[in-house]
Chain A
Amino acid sequence: MRRLATRLPRGWRAVAWVGVLVGVAAALSSLPPITIRSPVVPVVIGLFAFTVGLGSWIRGERRIGGYAMAAGVIGLLIGYLATRSSVGNLETVVVWGALLGAALRYATPLLFASLGGLFSERSGVVNIGLEGMMLIGAFFAVWGADVGGHWTLGLLIGVAAGGLTGLLHAFFSITLRADQIVGGTAINLIALGLTSYLFLRIYGNEGTPTGISEIPNVSIGFLDETPGIGGFLDDALGDQNLLIWAAFVLVLAVWIVVFKTPVGLRIRSVGEHPRAADTVGINVYLTRYGAVTLSGMLAAAGGAYLSLGALATFDQNITAGKGFIALAALIFGNWRPFGAAAACLLFGVSGALATALQTYSTSASYLFEALPYALTLVAVAGVIGRSIPPAAVGKPYVKQ
């Protein structure tokens, strides 16, 4: 308990965090269940959050201060827009439990791919082929479940196919020392072509058959009975896919592996300074091979969730850019497991809102889709805390 207390933010950092919370409150003030109708309230609260953020930014707390400023502006905008809309509309779009549930469903494939990318990039290999690896996983999972008859087999085959794709990327970027971005682009193209080809060849125009064994949902009945927030909990977590729960566990597991075990230390050291790692006897090539292969497997699991978990079908280009959002989340989260998870969740909320908005304005929901990318662009631009990649990322290592 005391250890925890020492880790709590202090000084201007704590002030900045308060600013972030106030910014969120600006948006909440005019959303259900509070629904204040006067636009003055969210604007004032939002501006206050911005000022607090700016204050701590000036005093040197750049990162969290930047977050507070962003939260203030976004909260102000959302709050203001909400006061312009009717309460009835708001109450149908903003059902918190359902939104959180949808956000989790949206975030899960991103999370798998993002954590996969984390291994690869932490070991020093850029992986913009995440999109392709997800696509491979998505197709082979459905195919495996169809041929093998059970979703466990499908998941295994999907993950294995993703591992092979990762291995291909590893071979070209580590052994052949090909440019890693070129290799990743190639992986994306080949995966898109190959999965479309096989899909049309095997399933033709009818698509994948119905009744494929799906990854099951975990239904938790008693959540409903929680006093006060029973409905909310039930909507959010009552009937979620097994892989969503697996994703929660995975974040913790990845954090432990990367930061608390010798293996993780090795992975990070070959990504920061391969020569030094080599000198102390770490096998740079083997470590990188392992990390990149693992990244393929994890990304494929994310793809498998998309096809076998969420829809039980496959369609051409089913990932539609999710691999790139996962990459964005990894960068936004500063190459850290919890950071990436938070980014995935944030992107998940924006994705869920976009879907919910679709009932009222299709076009506005498309603008929402651009939000994750815009936020990441702002983040790498250094406006809100600089994203710093591993030092040796993208550089092939030549053993001496």
Chain B
Amino acid sequence: MTVTQVESPPPGAPDAATPESRWLERLDGVLAPIITVLLAFLISGVVVYLTTRDLGDTLETYRAIFRGSGLSWFFELGGHDIGVPFSDARVWFPWETDDIASLAAANLQQTLIGWTALVLVGLAVAFAFRCGLFNIGGQGQYIAGSTAAILVATELPDLVDLPRVLLIVVTILAGMLAGAFVAGIAGFLKGTVGAHEVITTIMLNWIVLWVATYLFAVDGPFQTEEGGGAVPSSADVPEKAKLPVFWGDPLLQGLHIGLFVALASLVVYAFLLNRTTLGYEVRAVGFNPDAARYGGISVARNYFLAMAISGTFAGLAGALDSLGWQFRLDQTTIQGTTIGFTGIAVALLGRNTAVGVGLAALLFAALETGTASRNLDPEIFPPDLASSLAIIIQGLVVLFVGAQFVILLLLRRARTRSAAGST
């Protein structure tokens, strides 16, 4: 099975790589995802229109989703102040940071919490892509990561005596390791017996899902009564292991420091791929495994490493979510998440680059927060439909990204035509 070579030019591209044409190619790389997203929103707009039967309400629905995502916060300029870290001083700041005074600020916090996890799962898919592997297992690796983090944080009482920083680091490392392990199985099987990674990662997704469900189910080994909810769940993460919140109220799901971990991961991703031997080998294998093997690169080793590193990113996402805002795991959370599939959309739309993944993750995180039912006016659009609408939009984006080279082809044709017209 071939994986879409998102980087390679589509057939019919001019071979001469003049500086100008290379620049145009980069422009296409930016334009194509934007067109993809616009197309997806346009088509789902038809669905919204059929629901509201009014063009004004359709636009108003999209506007409400945008407002609900909290991205409008950046446009609400004014004279406010912000606390300087490690002191009591306050200085002037153009935006309102108080999430009680500004609803947009509160929504933006939620969007950024979602962004943190989506970036990491997106990177998990993207890294494997660069090695020519399609990692559908982001889902399972994410669940493995959050399960491992929860288990280490709640089931090992001796660890609580550790200093806080160390405790959090150990817990997160456990999550990363679990993700790497699950993905590593797929990489190992691909490298040794050639089992296709799409099939193995799908199987692993479901194995992890059911094992995790088993762990926290009624009469499961780690199910705890003290959770107090109607759904059987794990014990709560102790206060000490929770990630510090730097914006907003820790009790009301404020923004945790995982955001910076995600930002750093973007840098690590770009550095690893573009500035290290490992990254060079991974890309070489992704570009042409046979040529890489001929050049003395161990393809099997790189398949394994690429998958393990992918899994590390996804496991990290799970650990950060567990320690940052979920604090416990239950059946509904384990079975309800679709983050692995959104991660695929993020990686595809972001064309497997660090910047692209960051932006695509922002789009999908904003979409998720914006379609949360509390952000929509029932008069305009039924809020309970909104999350389904978000899934439709995601699906359409993935569909069109799959056919992106058609868009590129059309762009190029339009350009040659206009060039022919002007001479």
Enumerate chain A interface residues (CB-CB to B < 8 A): 126, 128, 172, 176-183, 185-194, 196-197, 200-201, 205, 321, 324-325, 327-328, 331, 361-364, 366-367, 369-370, 373-374, 376-377, 380-382, 386, 389, 393-396
Contact = CB atoms under 8 A, between A and B. Distances in A.
23 contacts: A126-B198, A128-B136, A172-B399, A180-B1, A181-B134, A186-B402, A188-B395, A189-B395, A189-B398, A190-B396, A193-B389, A193-B391, A193-B395, A196-B388, A325-B206, A369-B210, A369-B213, A370-B214, A373-B210, A380-B195, A381-B195, A386-B193, A396-B2
B9 to A, nearest CB: 15
B204 interface: yes
A364 B210 CA distance: 10
Given A128-B198, A192-B391, A380-B199, A172 B402 contact: yes
B217 A363 contact: yes
B300 to A, nearest CB: 14
A189 B394 contact: yes
B341 interface: yes
A186 B395 contact: yes
Contact of B210 (A178, A201, A366): A366
Interface string B400-416: 01110110000000000
A128 B136 CA distance: 11
Interface residues of B, number: 57
Nearest to B208: A370
A194 B385 contact: no
Given A197-B392, A381-B189, A382-B193, A363 B136 contact: no
Contacts of A126: 1, 198
A367 B208 CA distance: 10
B217 A395 contact: no
Interface in B14-49: 47
A275 B14 CA distance: 27
B199 A331 contact: yes
Given A181-B134, A362-B219, A367-B210, A377 B203 contact: yes
A366 B395 contact: no
B4 A197 contact: no
Given A185-B136, A185-B398, A189-B394, A373 B206 contact: yes
B261 interface: no
Contacts of B213: 366, 369
A178 B403 contact: yes
A74 to B, nearest CB: 16
Chain B interface main SS type: helix
A370 B390 contact: no
Contacts of A191: 395
Contacts of A172: 399, 402-403
B202 A194 contact: no
Contacts of B390: 193
A370 B207 contact: yes
B401 A182 contact: yes
A183 B4 CA distance: 11
A165 to B, nearest CB: 12
A188 B219 contact: no
Given A128-B198, A193-B390, A381-B189, A395 B1 contact: yes
A397 to B, nearest CB: 12
B3 interface: yes
Contacts of B223: 363
B403 A377 contact: no
Contacts of A331: 199
Nearest to B194: A382
A188 B341 contact: yes
Contact of B392 (A178, A181, A190): A190
B219 A182 contact: no
B372 to A, nearest CB: 15
Nearest to A199: B388
Interface string B199-233: 11011101101110111011111010000000000
A324 B196 contact: no
A200 B198 contact: no
A186 B399 contact: yes
B207 A377 contact: yes
A328 B203 contact: yes
B339 interface: no
Given A172-B402, A188-B341, A189-B391, A377 B384 contact: no
Nearest to A173: B402
Nearest to A378: B203
Nearest to B134: A181
Nearest to B43: A190
A192 B387 CA distance: 11
Contact of A377 (B200, B209, B221): B200
A179 B217 contact: no
